[in-house]
Amino acid sequence: MRTLLYFLFALIIFSACRNNAENGPVKGAMEAFKTDPSLKNYNDLILATNEAMEQNGGMDSELILSTLSAITEAGKAESGQEWVMELLKNNSSFDGREDVVAAYADLWEKDLQKPTQASILRQGLLKNYPELPALSIYKNTLDGLPPVEERIKGFAEKIFNGESGDFNPKVAYSFIPACENYAIALPKDSLSPNFLIDAATIARNLNQTQKVLELFKWVYTNYPESPKAGDARFSEAFTYDNDLKDYDRAKVAYEAFLKDYPTHPFAESAQVMLNNLGKSDEQIIRELEAKAKAAE
């Protein structure tokens, strides 16, 4: 028994020393960043934090929170928002994730001055973590709001103004992060892929092509079982084809769509588009006419 206890004690000490050694680069990068919050030192800090988590086997909420705190204190909230969103988007479950989302909501309100986005995140969190201490001071305010999904649908209705149908870019710019934040707070909710597809549609109206591609990838990567996954995969290929005229990537994307979703309603259209990549309308018409004559 005593031998076993010594072994367990040694294992704990070894593990602690290993973690401290692995987090040493983070400490150094953080000290350098706090002294000089330059772009280089910011990138070094993010790299050190990401590498430490990878070496330690996964997301570390305490490490994320300490890094995020240093970033916001240095006035780099927008960069911190992008970094944390990527972590949360790609990791739907890990110990302490709810605390990171709560801190992410605080960033939106206090640093980015976007209280509406913060409240969407908090409402989403509240559905799964009603006793989360970080939400206690906001409960009364949140309880007085319509359900979070209804709020986002209300955003969508206001994008095209009333009877005139005029596009309202101000609302549109708020709608996209609202949909993203719903999915961040509720990554396993069935409405999340639907809202992300809606956000991609609005991003296309705003000519935010890279955001469109990011949102489509988010859907088919994180929600492969959703009925929206195939739509997102096809729409990604169409965006490369039609919007960017990047036919090499369009070809890869169409082929991936056809492989993964051979019975999708858009499969036939995807094959036609794949066969005609880069061709002008005139070329396509001439080829069709030639085929028709050959068949006579």
The predicted pLDDT at position 11 comes to 43
> Is residue 161 helix, strand or coil?
strand
Q: How far is CA 209 from the centre of its chain?
A: 15
Domain extents for the chain?
Answer: 24-72, 82-215, 224-296
Is the pLDDT reported for residue 183 higher than 90?
yes
The predicted pLDDT at position 286 comes to 72
User: What are residue 161's DSSP bridge partners?
Assistant: 166
Is the pLDDT reported for residue 2 higher than 60?
no
Host H or E run for residue 160: strand 160-161
The two three-digit tokens of residue 92, written as one number: 């739907």
Longest dimension (CA), the chain: 92
Ranges 131-145, 225-239, 250-264, 271-285: which has the least confidence? 271-285
Q: What are the CA-CA distances from residue 38 to residues 80, 81, 296 (Å)?
A: 14, 17, 71
Sequence-distant (≥ 6) Cβ neighbours of residue 130 within 8 angstroms: none
Contact status, residue 98 vs residue 70, Cβ threshold 8 Å:
no
The fraction of the chain above a pLDDT of 70, given in percent, is: 88
- pLDDT tier for residue 256 given thresholds of 50, 70 and 90: very high
Please, what is the Cα angle at 201 between 126 and 157, to 5 degrees? 60
The predicted pLDDT at position 283 comes to 75
Comparing CA positions, the residue from 107, 35, 32 lying closest to residue 64 is 107
pTM: 0.87
- pLDDT tier for residue 5 given thresholds of 50, 70 and 90: very low
Is the pLDDT reported for residue 229 higher than 70?
yes
Radius of gyration, alpha carbons of the chain? 24
> Is residue 209 helix, strand or coil?
helix
User: What are residue 160's DSSP bridge partners?
Assistant: 167
Strands 160-161 and 166-167: antiparallel
